Structure 1
Amino acid sequence: MTLSLDLAARIVDAGLAHARQHNFRSMTIAVLDAGGHLIAFKREDRSGILRPEIAQGKAWGVLGMGHGARDLAMRSKEAPAFYAAIAATSQGRVIPVPGGVLVRNEAGDILGSVGVSGDMPDNDEACALAGIGEVGLVADPGHGPQPA
């Protein structure tokens, strides 16, 4: 199974619907395939001008490292020099903050990733989880505290 344009578009739309249901700030959502290619993207009105780069950076970082953003955030605190090097190596495209979620199939294979930016990191992540759950795939936000 691959992460098709149809599935990616449904993930984005469900994530945005979740944001509206909870009155989150204006969101930007990016979905990448397993090769890191952008396949679906939306930026809500009034979402900040850096939000596209942040959303894609969250998605690209988790895909590149093979761990959800909660793992990356925890690891960046434990090894700040390593993550500073990763930021430099990736030209700043790795953003180790919740809101970057791997998309897996039932077998655990990585199909792609979702990056969300616009509100607090836990709310961003909640939108990604809602979108991925809507299409019946497995969301992997990493370990650590999960949002309620």
Structure 2
Amino acid sequence: MSTTTIAAAPLTIQDAETLVEAARTVAEAAGTAVAISVLDAGGHLLAFRRDDRAVLIAGETSTRKAYTALQLNTPTADLVDAVQPGGPFHTLPTALDRPLLFIAGGVPVQRDGRLVGAIGVGGGAPEQDHAFANAAVESLAGR
């Protein structure tokens, strides 16, 4: 029996910069100051940007949202209910050495059906951050 492994091209610095610029553009158009983090498939920071007017904690939250989306290969917006008392991931936010953040704004990045990284946006309302991250991922897919 023969098996074939299809590798997806990794997320590049150029891809990361495209994601940051797309998220920044939609956030700016909405009048929202944000921080944006892009991680590769190994969880390493590829790109980061924080608007001068963004709250300082936005840098940390954007990175943790991206990390959470990467680790669970799911947008963080889809995980909020799972960490509530009685939810399947209730204890997960404190179970790991590197803290996860279950607030909307983290979105995995896939290429050819494979996880290649994640983007996290922080600084706006959770639904705004999620929309900005989604817009960035969609812009990369459209290239």
TM-score normalised by the chain length of structure 2: 0.85
Secondary structure of the residue aligned to 1:39 is: strand
Partner of 1:125: 130
Following superposition of structure 1 onto structure 2, how do residues 32-111 of structure 1 map, counting pairs within 5 Å?
A: 32-77=39-84, 79=86, 82-83=89-90, 85-91=91-97, 93-105=99-111, 107-111=112-116
Q: CA deviation at 1:62?
A: 1.4
Secondary structure of the residue aligned to 1:129 is: helix
**Post-superposition CA distance 1:53-112 (Å, at most 9, x none):** 1101101111112222122112112645843x322233462111110101011x321110
C-alpha distance in 2 between matches for 1:63 and 1:79 = 23
Partner of 1:143: none
Conserved 8 A contact 1:62-1:72: no
C-alpha distance in 2 between matches for 1:33 and 1:79 = 32
Cα-Cα RMSD: 1.8
Match of 1:114 among 115, 119, 142: 119
Are 2:29 and 1:21 equivalent residues in the alignment? yes
Distance 1:88 1:52, change over 3 A: same
Gaps of 5+ in 2: 1-8
Conserved 8 A contact 2:77-2:130: no
Secondary structure of the residue aligned to 2:141 is: coil
Secondary structure of the residue aligned to 1:135 is: helix
C-alpha distance in 2 between matches for 1:13 and 1:57 = 19
What is the letter of the counterpart of residue 16 of structure 2?
A
Distance 1:79 1:31, change over 3 A: farther
Q: Percent identity?
A: 30
Aligned residues: 134
